[in-house]
Chains A and B, each alone.
Chain A
Amino acid sequence: MKEEITNNKRCAYSEGRGKNSGRIVLHADLNNFFASVECFESGDPEMWEKPVAVCGDSEMRHGIVLAKNEKAKFFGVKTGETILEAKKKCPRLITVKARHELYMRYARAARKIYLRYSDRVEPFGMDEAWIELTGCPGIRTIEDGRKTADEIREKIKNELGITVSVGVSDNKVFAKLGSDYKKPDATTVFSPAEYDSVISKIPVSEVLYVGKNTAARLKSFGITTIGQTAKQNPYLLKSILGKNGINIYHYCRGEDDSQVDVFGSHAEAKSMGNSTTPPKDIENFYEAKLILSSICDTVCSRLRAEKLKCRAIRINFRDTSLHSFERQTVLGFSTSCARDLLNFSCRLLSDSVDLSSTPLRSIGVCAIDLLPAAGTAVQMSLFSENDGRKDVIDSTVDELRRRYGFSKISNALALCDSKKLGYIERGYEVFTSGR
């Protein structure tokens, strides 16, 4: 991408000379997805007029707002805050427990509708998807894209009872920007003709992959809009934001040429991890080890199922004041053995935090720097204790789980979970949902 950097203050995109000209990409975003499904499923038309929030299970200490409808938004209810905080802002807030299976059904049905128009449908989370219409029969111009977007909106409304916002553009980033621009139930076309009048004036924080911190950093340099970002020297952006600065520079100039994947194809995993918030805080190293052993077991089972190994691990944890931390280390060898991951994660944890003074609310382990298990050269160690027995044990455990279910065999350490820290029972669910 370095060769492509041009410090051209005039944006080729706005002049219709973008490298994507001729492409038609849609981005569909189901509006307030979980909350809309709950309002619709209630069968009560008045429910749409009431503030509704979909929340996690408070008994399992997952009692945060996962999604809210327009009315709840009006009262300032935010995703991620606790039910108590939300109720303080809106005492008449109706809270409903999340039903992920139901949302998955709706999401699958929505994708089936998108697939009637193109086989290149790339989901982005449960409620969003890109749809590439380039080359589809009867689609030639961006106006055809708009008509298809309107048709998709009608179909979603009639067949699923919920609404969707659709952005139409010639690249994925501006298509997403379009779907966020007008909500709910709207089509927004962002073509080069709209660049100077609309797109360039949108805050840069709305651009994909520009998070809170990135936007704040840009703001400290007086850069707040897409147009301002597009006019900067790319090397200045690189010096402010690292290599992501170059990506953001290109995105703001409409120079995103990433393709929409064919539905069902999935990109290679770069990391694989699991985390949990147990019903009780983790107050000592022994409890932490119990939970880490189960998490490492699940992570390694997933690694082996995908025929991968990792060369580094990262642990993440959150204390009771909801401060999050991450620590990572290189293993020095590649592995998919739970015992190896457990040893390193325990060492990382004990080096990073004193649990007697800082109890933890949640903890997670993530295998990073992945590589295929087969055909990878192995660096032997003179002091390695792996004589092949660990691999035999792992493959036997995998086979038992495949035949009889994930929960039929687990680490003996799991039997010590007298305080019911809650992860072990969820092992199978995590294993299957994370795949």
Chain B
Amino acid sequence: MKYTKKYVGINARFDTAGNIIPLYILWEDGRKFPIDRVKDVRPCASLKCGGFGIRYTCSICGHEIYLFLDGNRWFVEKRK
């Protein structure tokens, strides 16, 4: 199965320690996906679609997805 980078909009909260906590993923068609929980944050490569950045392991509607902060853009791994 092939994957591609899908850059997305993000609503996020910046806490007093300077951490970024993503709250919503904004899809291109206007849909909003609330992030229930951020389980893990670490620098990591995207092994499915290439590229690297800070990887946020997020729980959305019971599914676990990886959200990457690549410089100042965010992307998810999307099936082609």
Q: Which of A's residues lie within 8 Å of B, judged by CB?
A: 40-44, 105-106, 109, 157-161
Contact = CB atoms under 8 A, between A and B. Distances in A.
Interface string B1-25: 0111100000000000000000000
Contacts of A105: 71
A43 B49 CA distance: 4
B50 A161 contact: yes
A343 B78 CA distance: 59
A148 B4 CA distance: 34
A160 B5 CA distance: 15
Interface of B: 2-5, 43-52, 71
A361 to B, nearest CB: 36
Most buried by B among A43, A44, A109, A159: A43
B45 A40 contact: yes
Given A157-B45, A159-B44, 12 more contacts: A40-B45, A40-B51, A43-B2, A43-B46, A43-B50, A43-B51, A44-B2, A158-B44, A159-B43, A161-B47, A161-B51, A161-B52
A103 to B, nearest CB: 13
Contact of B45 (A42, A44, A159): A159
A42 B50 contact: yes
A109 B53 CA distance: 9
A110 to B, nearest CB: 10
Contacts of A42: 50
B57 to A, nearest CB: 14
A33 to B, nearest CB: 14
B48 A43 contact: yes
A161 B43 contact: no
Majority secondary structure, A binding face: helix
12 contacts: A41-B50, A41-B51, A42-B50, A43-B48, A43-B50, A43-B51, A105-B71, A106-B52, A158-B45, A159-B44, A161-B46, A161-B50
Nearest to B46: A161
A157 B49 CA distance: 15
Nearest to B54: A159
Contacts of A41: 50-51
B48 A109 contact: no
Contacts of B44: 158-159
Contacts of A43: 2-5, 46, 48-51
A109 B69 CA distance: 14
Most buried by B among A42, A109, A161: A161
A400 B26 CA distance: 44
Most buried by A among B2, B50, B71: B50
A51 B69 CA distance: 31
Contacts of B47: 161
B17 to A, nearest CB: 20
Contacts of B45: 40, 157-161
A41 B43 CA distance: 16
Most buried by A among B47, B52, B71: B52
A151 to B, nearest CB: 14
A152 B50 CA distance: 20
A109 B52 CA distance: 9
Nearest to A155: B43
B44 to A, nearest CB: 6
A156 to B, nearest CB: 9
Contacts of B46: 43, 161
Most buried by B among A105, A157, A159: A159
A161 B44 CA distance: 8
A346 to B, nearest CB: 45
Nearest to A41: B50
A114 to B, nearest CB: 14
Contacts of B2: 43-44
Top-9 shortest CB links A-B: A161-B45, A43-B49, A43-B50, A41-B50, A159-B43, A40-B50, A160-B52, A160-B45, A159-B44
Nearest to A42: B50
B68 to A, nearest CB: 12
B77 to A, nearest CB: 9
A67 to B, nearest CB: 17
A224 B2 CA distance: 49
B79 to A, nearest CB: 11
A383 B15 CA distance: 69
Nearest to B70: A105
Contacts of B71: 105
A43 B50 CA distance: 5
Nearest to B2: A44
Nearest to B55: A159
Contacts of A44: 2
Contacts of A160: 45, 52
B11 to A, nearest CB: 26
